[in-house]
Structure formats: structure tokens, C-alpha cells
Structure 1
Amino acid sequence: MNYQTLKIVFPYTLPVLMGYIFMGIAFGVLLSSKGYAFYWGTLMGILIYAGSMQFIAIGLLTTPLNLLGAAILTFTVNARHLFYGLSLLEKFKIFGFKKFYMIFSLTDETYSLLCTLKPPAKISPADFYFSIAFLNHFYWILGCTLGGILGSLITFNSQGIDFSMTALFIVIFVEQWEKTEQHIPALAGILITALSLIFFGTKSFIIISMLCLVLTLIFFRKKLESTSEVDHAE
């Protein structure tokens, strides 16, 4: 990877840049509002690099520590990456030791680009995909840092900023709904989450609904895949 490669890859990552900068700023501002210096946001962006989990981590840092609950919540929120990783096993073979960074840097947006983009003829696939992952990670770190600095310099009411993550997932949900013919997983997610909220309340429904959804998708995986293949064949 070199400057010329990054220059060619950069336009492909512009949509992610726009999203990550503003989402990272929102996270940095919220973290700063809890009394943390800006560099904590930078470190979390470098070492954790998980948008939704970083927002959740703000709440975990400001409430009594529950290691088991935090571990279960982290696993369930990021369980979708198990499926991402399985679908990229073959593609990641070309990266050598760099595959460890590719695994670490695999976010929803990066996964989408890795699956849909084809490298230009003048760039090797390994350099092309690695540059995408690297640039996306850099955008997130930059956003988290800017948000932390902004939050430490300017005092204002940050209430409502945390809804930005919810808004992002709504946009992703709508986009995926429009692009796919198979809506059963999405409908299952809505139904399971609603039932979990009704029966278990606001304090416990996230962990329970995520566990139930993961188990449901695993159990019905073959049936969903066969249904999807039939739809494409038609």
C-alpha cells in the first residue's frame, strides 16, 4: 500500500468518510460530555473500532461495572461479524499476515465495500481491499478525535446526539430492505425485538433479543439460503 494506491481507492470510500466523520464526532462529543479527555475517544477508535459498541460503552463506563453483562452484550451486538467473517474466508487468504488487521477492521460499511467492489486492473486485490479497510478506520479515528476536541472546547447540550447511531441503523435497514428480495431476517428481527421488549422490559431486551435472533438465523440458515437461491433463479 502506498500513496498512489490510497489516492485511487479514496473515491470509493467517500460515502463511508461522510458517515464516519459525523458519527465519530457524535461519539467523541458524548464521551467528552461524560468527563473523558479527547484522547480516550482516539484510543477507543484505534483499539475498539466498533461504532455501535462504542456508543454503548459510554453507558457501560458511567454505570456500575458488570463484566458478564458487558461481555454478553458485546458479543450479541457484534455477533453479525461471525457471518461476515465466514463469507470472507476465501477472500482473506490473499492478505498473508495482514489478514489479522482485515479481520479487526471489518465493519458493516467495510464489509459492504469488500463484497461489492472489484479492484482496478492496475492495483492488486490485496492492496485495494486493504486500503479500503485502512482508510475507513482512519476516518473513524479522525471523527472520534475531532468530536472529543470539540466537546472539550465547546460546552453545549449534547442530549439527543446519541440518536445518531439509531438513525444510521434505520438508514442501513431501509437500504438493505430495498436491495434484497429476502425480507424474512429483517421481519424476524423486528418481531423478536418487539416481543423481547414487551416480555422482558427495556433493561434486558437487547441481550435477549440479540441471542434469540442469532439462534433463529443459525437454525433457519439453510432454509433461508435455499429460499434466496430460488428467488434469484426466478
Structure 2
Amino acid sequence: MNIKVKALKAAFPHTLPVLAGFLFLGVAYGILMKSIGYGAGWTFLMSFLVFAGSMQYVGITLLTATFNPLYALFITLMVNARHIFYGISMLEKFKNTGRFKPYLIFAMCDESFSILCSAKPEKDVDKNWFMFFIVFLNRWYWITGSVLGALLGNYIKFNTKGLDFALTALFVVIFINQWQEQKNHFPAVVGVLSSAACLLIFGPDKFIIPAMILILIIFTFSNKKIYKGENL
């Protein structure tokens, strides 16, 4: 069997939860874009070039507000600052990916990061192609959903309030799946407790970056324990 086909078949099942979530969220995003006057073409470009789900939702507000590039830059950094920590944790995994590295870095999203942290290909499956197809498929799920939503925007009219909760639900499903598959729950427990503590201290609008910093510090000083696979 062709090395690419084998990697694609191995990667696809891991992305099915993302497929369900991204098509739904993408359609909602496309409908919202259409509602402010941006059709399928602009929606495609936003999803293809930007590819930042949360920020794209925020971008809808920016597109309808007074042009303020500094504010747009600041809010983008705030919303997507978590990717800095994703990148740090992926340094070792992407170390020998060669020509795949630029795309793996660009196409990384929360869901792909979560899958790559837990999913392991079979011994006869090429690791680089396996990772490539995970991020490739997830990216195109989102693009397809958003364009479909923009195309349907002329015909579907309903209140979209609360639709973005599907993304939270998707995170919960992936977290539960990882918890069941992994014997070492130390990273998961650290993430939950650190986030909860920072939420209580800094509030819902400012807890993400402190939580990420706290998680990074804990992992830095306990990396030996993590790599040995010891349970908390």
C-alpha cells in the first residue's frame, strides 16, 4: 500500500470528532460572515489564510468596527497566545519532520495539537505523513464548513447565539478520549488544576495566559517524571 494512503487511513479515524465539530462551527462562521456582507470567496480566504477559529469569530466584530490595527494586533495576540506554548511543546515532536515542518507549524490548531499529543501511528505507518494528514484534514474540515456556511447563508436564517459552545464540547470529548487512552494522567491533571486556579485568581477574561505560564513552569520542573510515564 502506498505510504501516503496508509498514513491517511491511519490518521482519518483520529480526526472524526474534529470533523463533526469543525463542520458545525465552520457553517456557523460562514453564515455569520455572510450576514455582514462577506460571501463565500472572502470566507474561504479568511479560513484558508488565517485559519484561527476563535480569532476568526472575533474577526467578524473587527470587520464591522472602526479600523484599528493596533487593537486588532493586541486582541489577536491575546486570543492566540496559547499557540506559543503549543509550539514549545512540539519542538521535540517536529524535530525531524523536514519538509513537513512549515506546514505542521502553520496548520496547527487546538484540536490537532490535542490529537498529536496522544495519537501514535502503527510501526508500519510513516510518522511524518501521519502528522501531516491529521493537521491537513482538520484544516480542510474547517475551510469546507465555513465556505458551506457562507453559501447557505442566503437561505438559512436563525439565531446563532450559543453555537460556539460546540467548540467547548469538542474539547471535552477529546480530553475524555485522551484520559481513557493514556496511562499517565499527570499532564491532564496539571492542565485542569492550573486553569481552575488561574480562573479563580484572575477571572474568566484574563486567566488563559497565566494558566499557560503556570503549566509550562510545572512541566519544566517535572519533565523527568512525565517522560518516565509515572502516574500522579
Residue 168 of structure 1 aligns with an amino acid whose one-letter code is L
Whether the aligned pair in 2 keeps the contact of 1:29 and 1:150 (CA below 8 Å) is yes
Whether the aligned pair in 1 keeps the contact of 2:85 and 2:212 (CA below 8 Å) is no
Which ranges of 4 or more aligned residues in structure 1 deviate by more than 6 Å? none
* Residue in structure 2 matched with residue 200 of structure 1 by the alignment: none
Structure 2 SS opposite 1:85: helix
* Residue in structure 1 matched with residue 44 of structure 2 by the alignment: 42
Whether the aligned pair in 2 keeps the contact of 1:31 and 1:58 (CA below 8 Å) is yes
1:156 pairs with 2:157: yes
Structure 2 SS opposite 1:164: coil
Whether the aligned pair in 2 keeps the contact of 1:42 and 1:145 (CA below 8 Å) is yes
Q: Give 1:14 deviation, angstroms.
A: 1.0
Is there any run of 5+ residues in structure 2 with no aligned partner, and where? 180-187
Deviations 1:100-139 (A, max 9, x none): 1101111111001111111122221001110111111111
What is the CA–CA distance in structure 1 between the aligned matches of 2:98 and 2:173, rounded to whole Å?
36
Deviations 1:23-72 (A, max 9, x none): 10010001101111111111111111111111010011001122111111
What is the CA–CA distance in structure 2 between the aligned matches of 1:173 and 1:155, rounded to whole Å?
28
* Residue in structure 1 matched with residue 136 of structure 2 by the alignment: 134
Residue 218 of structure 1 aligns with an amino acid whose one-letter code is I
Report 1:38-187 matches (<5 A).
Answer: 38-152=40-154, 154-160=155-161, 163-169=162-168, 172=171, 176=175, 179=179, 180-182=188-190, 183-187=192-196
Q: Give 1:225 deviation, angstroms.
A: 5.7
The TM-score, its normalising length taken from structure 2, stands at 0.81
- After superposition, the Cα gap between the structure-2 partners of 1:43 and 1:189, relative to the gap in structure 1 and judged at 3 Å, is farther
Report 1:204-223 matches (<5 A).
Answer: 206=205, 209=206, 213-215=208-210, 217-218=212-213, 221-223=216-218
Aligned positions, number? 217
Larger displacement relative to structure 2 (93-102 or 170-179): 170-179
Residue 99 of structure 2 aligns with an amino acid whose one-letter code is F
Identity %: 38
The TM-score, its normalising length taken from structure 1, stands at 0.80
Residue 181 of structure 1 aligns with an amino acid whose one-letter code is V
